[in-house]
Structure 1
Amino acid sequence: MAKHVALLLVLCVASITGEVLGVQREQQSTASGVEREEEQDRILRLPGQPEVSFKQFSGYVTVNEQVGRALFYWLTEAELEPESRPLVLWLNGGPGCSSIAYGASEEIGPFRIKKSASGLYLNKFSWNKVANLLFLESPVGVGYSYTNTSSDLTNFGDLQTAKDSLQFLLRWFDRFPRYKNRELYLTGESYAGHYVPQLAHQILQYNSRAPHGINLKGIMVGNAVTDNYYDNLGTVTYWWSHAMISDKTYKNILKSCDFHLENLTGACDRWFTYATSREFGNIDQYNIYAPPCNSSDGATTTRRTLSSPLRFKTSVIGGYRGGGYDPCTEKYAEIYYNRPDVQKALHANTTNISYKWTACNEILNRNWKDSANSILPIYKEMIAAGLRVWVFSGDVDSVVPVTATRFSLARLRLSTKIPWHPWYVKKQVAGWTEVYEGLTFATVRGAGHEVPLFKSRAAFLLFNSFLGGKPLPNS
């Protein structure tokens, strides 16, 4: 009898040991599969790239197998202690413009593109000094992101973009599981004033039904499209208050335009055309005090299609190129990111897309199907959920100007915690700020539409304060 018991014990132990080993082998196989997938996306070195200590990854995440939609991403990990730093997603707007062209290459990324497009140089104020940066080209049709269903390019809008971006995040976290529980912040500018809050809304909905949600902590948007009526009213007011249009034109626009309507028609349209074609003159509307790009030097007009995201459209007329700020940066991006060696290093264009990489996709921009009239209800939802919400505005942008943002945010009717005051960088006024219950607003003095491009040091300090949840320095 004892022999039978001993034999049974041996068999039980062997069975349990086999099961444990089987589970361990399965876990190791899964882990090694994830590591292989991640390693396939590892960027060894970009053409003309200076030496760096941080890791980079880029590639595609399929968000819809049925129609063949895949979004392109580029992750630049933090310079120091990336394993403990938060994850920051950056989105550009348009709709239809690339976060690789703008956010990564001329604003907050670690590299800037040389004028010759022969290589890269380091950005002294890159945000990956304090965070892991994830740039996403969204929606499909933007940059390297693609769809196998051509009708997607003429049928996209806010809702599908937000849903695809959520699907991207969920699948990207499966590829990079070490980021799954990391603090996540959503950031962006311009029409990302729609993208960022709408993605936050999708995440909050997902978290309400998922056993293990996404660790979303906050959002920050700059020169953000927010509310159609107040954005439009604030933009016209900015034009007039900065002497871009005459008293007569300003009065006639206010008299003939109903900003509640979907389109401008009749007298309203004529007055807008008159203002933009006859009174604006040869300026860069994204920074009214900076020289525009000279179209005669072969530069494309992609900055124009960042575009007026409001109901009325404006155009940039070619001018001259001055020193300091370079308004032709998109041209360098379009040369660099169309290079075969660059695409190979980025694991991009693997399906041999039939069209060239561009900073903005005008087909998407012209055919955008659904656009929320106001994002303010989502702001209320985010504040109620306890998310950190910051909004900033470069004060020399006439496309989505500071007056538009202030008019829109005023509709939230938030009580003030810290009254309006200047904030400082190196003992100089960098802008002004007010802290409300649930939201911080800040201006950046002398910055245009792309705040980190024009005022990189101030933008970096702003970002650092946002991550830390601390008020901006008042002295």
Structure 2
Amino acid sequence: MARIHLIIILLVISSTSSSSSSLREQEEDMIKALPGQPQVGFSQFSGYVTVNESHGRSLFYWLTESPSSSHTKPLLLWLNGVFKPTKPTLSFILCNRPGCSSIGYGASEEIGPFRINKTGSNLYLNKFTWNTEANILFLESPAGVGFSYTNTSSDLKDSGDERTAQENLIFLIKWMSRFPQYQYRDFYIVGESYAGHYVPQLAKKIHLYNKAFNNTPIINLKGFMVGNGDMDKHYDRLGAAMYAWSHAMISDKTYKSILKHCSFTADKTSDKCNWALYFAYREFGKVNGYSIYSPSCVHQTNQTKFLHGRLLVEEYEYDPCTESYAEIYYNRPDVQRAMHANLTSIPYKWTLCNMVVNNNWKDSEFSMLPIYKELTAAGLRIWVFSGDTDAVVPVTGTRLALSKLNLPVKTPWYPWYSEKQVGGWTEVYEGLTFATIRGAGHEVPVLQPERALTLLRSFLAGKELPRSY
């Protein structure tokens, strides 16, 4: 299998473009300005890269370069995988699912340079954007997610971990041929949620690819970072039950029933386990499991919307309805033209998550821990972080999983600081750093953008998180 993949990569390399054609492709992908965009001092590019000619699979990207020293700053690839249901589900116990947009989530409500206003008519600046520190590349993956598409409809029903990782690697090789200024540049991968699979799996593919070419890395992978990411289905699920109980979201009786009847060692659960999870679901209530102390989006009367919005934006600087703004904005024809998106007139609307992909995911590795063991030994910089108000992929599960790596402790547990406040807690191991982000949910930069930026700066610098303010 590895030999077949190497042959595929060699064919990709043989088809990469010349320097003159890469300049032309960059010019074609350059975004002059997005509709409703404020004036900015950085360049943007977006477009498609074909990753499978025979099936017609093409992945969509959006590059936002840094406003200063973009020619020397690293390149950071952001991947999303989160599925956020509009109604309460058992997902807080049964783990996340793939199929969501890095542009809708990562770029538009987390780390990107712009935010979308409530009517989807204009953009405003995100003062905590990550492109101050690196050139940020957002990728919608796999095909079928966001603007990424396939000409073979059956592809939507047989996506999985292996094909996604392979085609993400093909994307990077071909994209760097289009943007040769990023070849050999320091490169990092960051993602959250089901990207807890995408990120380490892609990192492993790149690591093996670089070894096959005598470690002269065009893709100069330095490390990766995963936030509230799926790591191990057993420990993630057990940790979710522990978190719900320890935060008084389920009863003692239900928690004991889960521990008794649910082994969480296979994808399928017993009838008794299902009943225990059902009672947990009933007790959980209509709380926002991705950020248990934050309100959910409520669409009611204009007066309620006004009061709701004023409370959230002014007091908490958090608006739970931002996802609906993205669906308005990215379905605008003028926005799609400006982004060179939907060139083939996809016969469906842009959505944050593709539920066909989500519901028909094929291969999903049970545990990422073997990959972490391999890549820590390879010397990559690896950080894992957890927002501590997430009940879906909670800090409890992540800590259980990490403990099974048995990594020696280099720097014992301590509080780290951001903006004169405790930003969270961290422990540094040989080969891996773990950090919590206090007061953040599943999407850490949404509720704690300053702390997330402090985390990024420390990660890129290869330094431990600040011990004081």
Is the structural similarity TM-score above 0.5? Answer: yes
Q: Is the 8 A contact 1:225 1:231 kept in 2?
A: yes
Task: For 1:182 and 1:426, locate their aligned partners in 2 and report how far apart those are by CA, in whole Å.
Answer: 31
Name the structure 1 match of 2:297: 293
Give the match for residue 63 of structure 2: 75
Partner of 2:328: 335
Query: Partner residue of 1:217?
Result: 222
The higher radius of gyration belongs to 1
The CA distance in 1 between the partners of 2:299 and 2:443, in whole Å, is 20
* Structure 2: gaps (5+ residues): 1-16, 83-97, 303-307
1:69-148 alignment, distance < 5 Å: 69-94=57-82, 95-148=98-151
Q: Which residues of structure 1 form unaligned runs of 5+? A: 1-28, 299-319
Count of paired positions: 425
Q: What is the letter of the counterpart of residue 199 of structure 1? A: L
Q: Give 2:267's aligned amino acid.
A: E
Deviations 1:222-254 (A, max 9, x none): 001000111111110000000000000000011
2:371 match: secondary structure = helix
Contact 2:389-2:439 within 8 A present in 1 as well = yes
Establish whether residue 448 from structure 1 lines up as the match of residue 441 from structure 2. yes
**When the two structures are superposed, what TM-score results if normalisation uses the length of structure 2?**
0.89
Task: Give yes or no for the alignment of 1:279 onto 2:283.
Answer: yes
Structure 2 residue aligned with 1:160? 163
**Residue equivalent to 1:308:** none
1:297 deviates by 7.1
Deviations 1:336-379 (A, max 9, x none): 00000000000000000000000011111111100001001111
1:190 partner letter: S
Q: Which residue of 1 aligns with 2:423?
A: 430
CA offset at residue 265 of structure 1? 3.1
Does the CA contact (< 8 Å) of 2:48 and 2:58 recur in 1? yes
Aligned residue in 1 for 2:194: 191
Q: In the alignment, does 2:236 pair up with 1:231? A: yes
Runs of 4+ in 1 over 4 A off after TM superposition: 295-298
Paired residue for 2:95?
none
Compute the displacement of 1:296 (Å).
4.8
Structure 1 residue 32 displacement after superposition: 2.5
User: 1: CA distance between counterparts of 2:112 and 2:266?
Assistant: 38
Distance 1:297-1:334 versus aligned 2 partners, 3 A rule: farther
Distance of 1:147 and 1:210 partners within structure 2:
30
Q: 1:421 aligns with which of 410, 414, 430?
A: 414
**Secondary structure, in 3 states, of the residue corresponding to 1:338?**
coil
Q: Decide whether the 8 Å contact of 1:197 with 1:378 is kept in 2.
A: yes
Determine what percentage of the aligned residue pairs are the same residue. Answer: 63
CA distance in 2, matches of 1:187, 1:148: 29
Contact in 2 for aligned 1:288/1:397 (Cα 8 Å) = yes
Are 2:249 and 1:247 aligned?
no
SS, match of residue 82 in structure 1 = coil
Q: Distance in 2 between matches of 1:255 and 1:220?
A: 34
Residue 147 of structure 1: SS of its match in structure 2? coil
Q: Deviations over 1:131-155 (max 9, x none)?
A: 0000000000100000011111010
Per-residue deviation, residues 65-85 of structure 1 (Å, max 9, x unmatched): 011000000000011000000
My pick for the range that moved more, 385-394 or 211-220, is: 211-220
